Structure 1
């Protein structure tokens, strides 16, 4: 199994990083840690990573503006070949530019049941509010602080007489359970057929007068009462692939695409030279490109009057 490459950013003890690291030692874990980076060269978590043979990088952020510092981190992540970033007690607000570069590929763990208690001092706020539960959340990172889509949560009961310290200790146990399995599911979703079909469906059905039917056991998208412009192949005839099939100009374009990237593009059986298969299950799908492929395929079969409306709309 090809494991997804994950970099972890820390600022201190790195206990959540360690939970991710030791979970990654399991043979069936779908990710591996390729870098642990810290904004504090004295962060104890760096020693854990080094001892376990994981590459590390550290540099104090003091004296550098946020954009410049984040550019240095981004450089290190790319050198390490990271595909995903996990924030694990990283106590720096990231620049919007950095977040944009890792959009949809960066997770954070936060010690509250979001959307409750964003920012700091979460346990104190939960106790003072008389909440029955504290807990932790894992969310996709967006420019707004602790505001991205929540992927998973684990509640932790607040006992009578709990202090910030006693509650924090139990929440930390919950974090160590929740983060590895949530990260594992997250890195695998770009290979999960249901997720991939859902992404294609959302894009295809956003096109004018699109509808969906099942054809030859495949989700199939067409123009209402018109021609089909896309199929999603899932292990069709046992080929093991999850792929989008779209219209192209013919054999020359098909051959050019396959030559360009033979792992991604292929000639779909039974569809002929007017179609190309695009693998969706390689883990690095460019969804903006898929959106454009669907649009071009739609235009190839759309009646001129309907296609003309698209052109008029795009001018505005």
Structure 2
């Protein structure tokens, strides 16, 4: 099943069009289910409608920002979109809206961030004597144009270039970059390498943690001590990517599996003191996973080391 994406525009919608036409390729992992705008005259709305994509327009003038955001968001959720792509959406979103879509909303910006956030990027690049302009796809955060970078393409600045001539070439790069980055983003939650890295980054923050390879799996333990977590990736050809963590015993194991049999399972060869937690279902609560790792670490940590952990 393809990931459902809503696209916000304010103008001609060329980046929206690039995303849309890329989505029609047979191997593209996403589909555009809605195009929204704060501008009734946005040219991209006609293009989307002609291609059979539902559209929604709500002018923002006279509306409180949070109220406008909520109305737009209601339409996104009505179409069951899981991701939002901003494509020339010329309106700053409220911090509350951004927080609700953390990690699931992307933007494309016409500079090589962190250089030149905001407007007039090409003028600033020329003035600075830069050899290259470019574009960046990034996750949206409350700080304008400062979210984690997903991809960039540099574009050479030629002698005699003007902001307009640079912008025209950068737009070609944007059309190539955005669809590729969006495709990578919507599939990473099922990518074993990315999921393993999320576990690694959290596990290695625990005191005296070390990583090793055990039975073909990434394994985390306490230095010169016991293991507290494994990442199982299609182990025994089960098709699952999962965290294996310590639990209190068979009663807790049975209770967890009964509560959510799709997410929890009894890991083969690990016994009653362990639980498998699926990571590849696309809706991981990473704060919860962090707590599972902390609890598992505490279960094997020497008493003196465990006492150092702040609860």
Where 1:32 maps in the other structure, the secondary structure is: strand
User: For the residues of structure 2 that align with 1:158 and 1:293, how far apart are their CA atoms?
Assistant: 50
Q: TM-score with structure 2 length normalisation?
A: 0.95
Q: How does 1:90-239 map to 2 (within 5 A)?
A: 90-239=89-238
Deviation at 1:242, TM superposition (A): 1.1
User: For the residues of structure 1 that align with 2:48 and 2:251, how far apart are their CA atoms?
Assistant: 50
Where 1:309 maps in the other structure, the secondary structure is: coil
Deviation at 1:275, TM superposition (A): 1.2
Q: How does 1:54-65 map to 2 (within 5 A)?
A: 54-65=53-64
Where 2:135 maps in the other structure, the secondary structure is: strand
After superposition, the C-alpha distances for 1:213-254 in whole angstroms (9 at most, x for unaligned) are 221111111222222211100110111211100112222322
Instruction: Find out whether 1:14 has 2:13 as its counterpart.
Output: yes
Where 2:207 maps in the other structure, the secondary structure is: coil
- 5+ residue gaps, structure 1, are none
Aligned length: 311
Where 1:20 maps in the other structure, the secondary structure is: helix
Deviation at 1:199, TM superposition (A): 0.9
User: For the residues of structure 1 that align with 2:295 and 2:302, how far apart are their CA atoms?
Assistant: 13
Where 1:252 maps in the other structure, the secondary structure is: helix
After superposition, the C-alpha distances for 1:41-91 in whole angstroms (9 at most, x for unaligned) are 221212222222222221011111212211222222222222221110010
User: For the residues of structure 2 that align with 1:54 and 1:261, how far apart are their CA atoms?
Assistant: 36
Deviation at 1:260, TM superposition (A): 2.4
Q: Is the 8 A contact 2:231 2:243 kept in 1?
A: yes
Moved over 6 A (4+): none
Deviation at 1:26, TM superposition (A): 1.1
Query: Relative to structure 2, which stretch is displaced further, 239-248 or 46-55?
Result: 46-55
Equivalent in the alignment of 1:274: 273
Root-mean-square deviation (CA), in Å? Answer: 1.5
Equivalent in the alignment of 1:76: 75
User: For the residues of structure 1 that align with 2:78 and 2:253, how far apart are their CA atoms?
Assistant: 33
User: For the residues of structure 1 that align with 2:251 and 2:307, how far apart are their CA atoms?
Assistant: 27
Equivalent in the alignment of 1:289: 288
Where 2:308 maps in the other structure, the secondary structure is: helix
User: For the residues of structure 2 that align with 1:280 and 1:106, how far apart are their CA atoms?
Assistant: 21
After superposition, the C-alpha distances for 1:72-117 in whole angstroms (9 at most, x for unaligned) are 2222222222222111001011111111111112111011111222
Equivalent in the alignment of 1:29: 28
Q: How does 1:300-311 map to 2 (within 5 A)?
A: 300-310=299-309
- 5+ residue gaps, structure 2, are none
After superposition, the C-alpha distances for 1:192-219 in whole angstroms (9 at most, x for unaligned) are 1111111101111111222222211111
Q: How does 1:45-60 map to 2 (within 5 A)?
A: 45-60=44-59
